[in-house]
Amino acid sequence: MQSLLDPVVLFFLLGAFAGMVKSDLRIPQAFYNTLSIYLLLSIGIKGGIELYKNSLSSIALPALGTIALGGIITVIAFLILKHLGKFDKTNAVAIATHYGSVSAVTFAVVLSYLRDRHVGYEEYMTVLLVMLEIPSIAVGIFMAKWSNGPTRMNPKALFHEIFLGKTILLLVGGLLIGVATAYTGNQQLNFFFFDLFKGFLAVFMLEMGVVASKRFPDLKKVGLFLASFGIIMPLLSSLIGIGVAIMTGLSVGGAIALGTMAASASYIAAPAAMKIALPEANATYYLTASLGISFPFNIIFGIPIYYFLAHYLYQVLG
């Protein structure tokens, strides 16, 4: 109940309700784009500041575990979709790539969730966010080529979408800016990017609720299996993510964050990459599953579940 009454969740539910009743409530597109840029930069800058405070040796093992995590989840999701869901290889690869990748917005919500509950976590998690985004897309593209033989994809365009797309560019750029501000001791950005973060995130989630609600009618098109997959796969991925966190020595807060990252599904970077690598894949499948099912589930129910699972596993194994 406490999680459902979180302002971020309430803003999301308000937006979803507005979308379902066909209200004209929408955030202007220009402001929505500004908010997304702000959130990505804020996450990156905060991560960069903490990256400066930590040695590379302390980050190396979690980083390697996170890179492996992205590939493992992509392969597992593909096998489930291909053999249990009976999806063709093209759509199985496209959907699996979304689930191996990560949602930066879900990441922002879980960080806010942890701060509200005064649960500490490794602030360099933003570095792991970037490292989780890319391997799954790379594995997905490899599986697409392996499954379908020579493809018509444009390597240059694909590279541009993955590494120079808005999400990665802003996160990496923010990391570098954060390192620079930490080095110089400059705190002029702190109020705007840190103190106001939760308010801007809440307004952003209002629009995300409207956007997600537009995918609800497509649930009939994707079928019962994919609808169930959109809930079960995040739960499975979160357990794998928490397991990697335990093996790489992260704190319980870091495990909650990494478990949530693993459970989230991309709806920005992965769709852009799949449009180039697998243009024949059905976008209704992967967008409805990631944005219409998994995203609302993670925001409303998933994060509290991963919070409980991480605490429980750390108690049992501790």
Q: Where are the domains of the chain?
A: 27-207+225-317
> For residues 291 and 95, is the Cβ–Cβ distance under 8 A?
no
Are the C-beta atoms of 314 and 255 separated by less than 8 Å? yes
pLDDT for position 194: 84
CA-CA distance, 179 to 45, in Å (whole number)? 8
Rounded Cα–Cα distance for residues 287 and 268 (Å) = 10
R_g of the chain computed on alpha carbons:
19
pLDDT of amino acid 32? 84
CA 94 to chain centre: 16
Whole-number pLDDT of residue 169: 83
pTM assigned to the model: 0.82
From the list 23, 41, 44, the residue with the least C-alpha distance to 206 is: 23
Kindly report the length of the chain. Answer: 318
pLDDT 10s digit of each residue in the chain, 318 long? Answer: 566 677 888 888 898 899 899 898 888 888 988 988 898 888 888 888 877 887 778 889 999 999 999 999 999 999 999 999 999 999 999 999 999 999 988 999 999 999 999 999 997 888 898 888 778 888 877 777 665 555 555 667 767 766 677 777 888 898 899 889 988 988 888 889 888 888 998 898 888 888 888 888 888 888 899 999 999 999 999 999 999 999 999 999 999 999 999 999 988 778 877 777 788 888 889 989 998 899 999 999 999 999 999 999 999 886
pLDDT digits (tens, 9 = 90+) for 266-289: 887 788 777 777 888 888 899 899
Under 8 Å between Cβ of 48 and 123: no
Question: What is the spatial distance between Cα 243 and Cα 115, in angstroms, rounded to a whole number?
Answer: 22
Tokens at 34, concatenated: 């500004």
CB 141: neighbour CB atoms within 10 A? Answer: 22
Predicted pLDDT of residue 313: 94
Q: What is the pLDDT of residue 162?
A: 65
Which pLDDT does position 298 carry in this prediction?
95
Q: What is the DSSP string of the chain?
A: -TTTTSHHHHHHHHHHHHHHTT------HHHHHHHHHHHHHHHHHHHHHHHHHS-HHHHHHHHHHHHHHHHHHHHHHHHIIIIIS---HHHHHHHHHHHHS--HHHHHHHHHHHHHTT----TTHHHHHHHHHHHHHHHHHHHHHHHHSS----HHHHHHHHHSSHHHHHHHHHHHHHHHHHHHT--TTHIIIIITHHHHHHHHHHHHHHHHHTTGGGHHHHHHHHHHHHHHHHHHHHHHHHHHHHHTT--HHHHHHHHHHHH---SSHHHHHHHHH-TTS-HHHHHIIIIIIIHHHIIIIIHHHHHHHHHHHHHHH-
Pair of tokens at residue 145:
């080529």
Residue 262 pLDDT:
96
How far is it, in rounded angstroms, from Cα 145 to Cα 143?
A: 5
pLDDT of residue 297: 95
Give CA–CA dist 142/131, Å, rounded. 17
| pLDDT score for 255 | 97
What is the rounded distance in angstroms from the CA atom of residue 92 to the CA atom of residue 89?
A: 5
Instruction: Specify the CATH architecture of the domain 27-207+225-317.
Output: Up-down Bundle (1.20)
Q: How far apart are the C-alpha atoms of 103 and 43, rounded to whole Å?
A: 12
